[in-house]
Structure 1
Amino acid sequence: MTIDHIDLARIDLNLLVALDALLSERSVTRAAARTGVGQSAMSSSLARLRALFGDELLTRAPEGMRPTPRALALAEPVRSMLRQVQFLVRRDEAFDPRIVERTFTISLPDSTEVLLGPTLLAYLRAEAPGISLLLRTIDRAHILQEIDADRVDLAIDLSFRGQLHHKQSLLYRDSYVCLFNAALVGLTPPISLEDYLRFPHVLTSLRETAHGVVDDALAKIGRSRTLAVTSPRFLAVPFLVRKAPVLTTMHARLAHFFADALGLTVSPAPVPLEDVAMSMLWHASYDDDPAHRWLRTLLRRLASDPASGRAGD
């Protein structure tokens, strides 16, 4: 479509910055603070936006301000456009991780934070001291909305069902192994299926249900196991295993980490289990952002070889 420059020149494009802030914060006061203007100025911008789009955009509700269907339809195109504008005006700036100052918000499971966090932090402090991290527990039910609202820069998890404006990339693959305290269960690896089923198990379930991939695999061969504890916290499980005659099945990288740290024993799982893939998810508008691309590259390198911390494009 041909751009009508005369018609477009009549529109104050700064109103779209205000609209993005209003839809993100759903509060005139917070949107004003986010954009560095006064509350009255933001209220005036909202009034002008309503006139421009012929819609209320935000209406009062008990929980604050609620976007109209029209506003929800505008949110993603407006945010994507603003990110592209920001990228265009910054693209010629050379990115140097040694001097840049930026905070990245990353949502991830605690298990991945344990595996990658220490090495990542050590690298940043040595090579990119101006870059800081805000790490958050991933909220699987709302992560796509958080990515779209620019509250999360990057998400790491087992799988995502994103949309066209979401980008994904494999971070690493992992397998399943068993973890136990050999002194308490009297087993040595590799353990048999009968030994595996003879002892009760500890299950990690983020859905807080007493059923996991192991139970599905056992059901296929007509077997089942006894669960002693179901916990939503990956990091608690090795400490439970350390003190009781139980077994757990977890991702191999994490299991080996805790085996070394707590004196536990690792054995191959005696039941067929598919490998898992940990992936990164981000908004497509950050695809060519130099700092964001640098961070993704660094994470891939650290995940493939924790001893290597050299990042690049």
Structure 2
Amino acid sequence: MRFNKLDLNLLVALDVLLEERNITRAAERLHMTQSATSGVLARLRSFFEDDLLIQVGRKMQPTAYAEQLAPPVREVLLKINAEITTRPVFDPTTSDRKFRIVTSDYFITIALADLIANISQEASGISFDILSPADGPGDLLARGEVDLLIIPDQFIDFDQPSEFLLEEELACAVWADNKLVGDTLTFEQYMELGHISVGFGLGRKLSVEDSLINEYGTSRRIEVVTHNFNTLPQLLLGTDRVVTTHKRLLERYAKYLPIKVLPTPVALPATREHMVWHRSMENDPMLNWLKEQMRQLVQSI
């Protein structure tokens, strides 16, 4: 199919070439030979009157024009997929859709695991691929590689539709045999104790540091940093340390582990989880069905 003398199939190849920046890998994804892929690149260069990808040492780098082309090309392909190739009617009982969701292990524990179990009873053909927020969720969403993000609002720094889903109060926890802490936790105790925190990605941004510094001009003494929320209660055992994290998560673990859940000694803002999706998927009946299932579930928590 051609539009203004452009073979629209070439847009798919251009999208892959600009993402991979490598003829061999692009050829594998396009199920073409390397010579055929090189031929496609030559046709693209001719149409756009630009080199698009140039060899720099052993790597290929996009030209400035190619960098400008990449976002609208991806948007066009996503829109075609969402509004032209997607069926307008969705029957979950017969669907084999795979949903790709980015969220934290906290949300998996308190909500998503139950949602997936519920869906499996109604729609056994639907499957899920869950990715960590450390995987660059904004980029994955922009490229259309995931269906849904479920993340705190402070991390929504990209221009896509979103919806508030759940508010979560923060709480503290210590090992039940911690002799330094009784039934309450003062601010002085809190600052004297060693802390266990969570950090995601290479930046290892910690959960409550900004709030403490902005409001009280201080930061915690971090002694252990782990990579997910579910390990926090386990790392408390046998120590005099303290954790500060989602109250629902701590209360769930307090049923099985010897930990005490306590109010935070100072006011800390609640976390607000949001669903975020790509604007091209606004009318996707399958994704809209999943979002409605999510809304119904969190209302029961």
TM-score interval, smaller chain: 0.7 to 0.9
- 1:284: Cα distance to partner? 1.0
Alignment-derived partner of residue 170 in structure 1: 164
Q: 2:232 aligns with which of 215, 230, 237?
A: 237
Q: 1:201 aligns with which of 174, 181, 195?
A: 195
User: 1:187-226 to 2 correspondence within 5 Å?
Assistant: 187-197=181-191, 199-206=193-200, 207-208=203-204, 213=208, 216-217=211-212, 220-221=215-216, 226=221
Cα distance in 2 for partners of 1:139, 1:228 equals 21
> More displaced, 184-193 or 87-96?
184-193
Cα distance in 1 for partners of 2:85, 2:92 equals 15
Cα distance in 1 for partners of 2:254, 2:126 equals 32
**CA separation of 1:148 and 1:226: change in aligned 2, threshold 3 A:** closer
Root mean square deviation, CA, Å: 2.9
Cα distance in 1 for partners of 2:182, 2:110 equals 26
Number of aligned positions between the proteins = 297
Cα distance in 1 for partners of 2:5, 2:216 equals 70
Cα distance in 2 for partners of 1:221, 1:42 equals 58
Q: TM-score, normalised by structure 1?
A: 0.82
Counterpart residue type for residue 21 of structure 2: R
- 1:186: Cα distance to partner? 6.5
User: 1:71-86 to 2 correspondence within 5 Å?
Assistant: 71-86=66-81
Which runs of 5 or more residues in structure 1 are unaligned?
A: 1-6, 307-313
**Secondary structure in 1 matching 2:272:** strand
Which runs of 5 or more residues in structure 2 are unaligned?
A: none
Cα distance in 1 for partners of 2:195, 2:174 equals 10
**CA separation of 1:261 and 1:56: change in aligned 2, threshold 3 A:** farther
CA shift digits 1:209-249 (9 cap, x unpaired): 7x762685377457765444333432322111122122211
**CA separation of 1:65 and 1:305: change in aligned 2, threshold 3 A:** farther
Q: Percent identity?
A: 32
Alignment-derived partner of residue 18 in structure 1: 13
Alignment-derived partner of residue 139 in structure 2: 145
CA shift digits 1:109-139 (9 cap, x unpaired): 2322333342133123222222222222223
Q: 1:41 aligns with which of 36, 39, 47?
A: 36
Counterpart residue type for residue 54 of structure 1: E
Cα distance in 1 for partners of 2:185, 2:22 equals 58
Q: TM-score, normalised by structure 2?
A: 0.84
**CA separation of 1:99 and 1:29: change in aligned 2, threshold 3 A:** farther
> More displaced, 178-187 or 259-268?
178-187
Cα distance in 2 for partners of 1:215, 1:61 equals 41
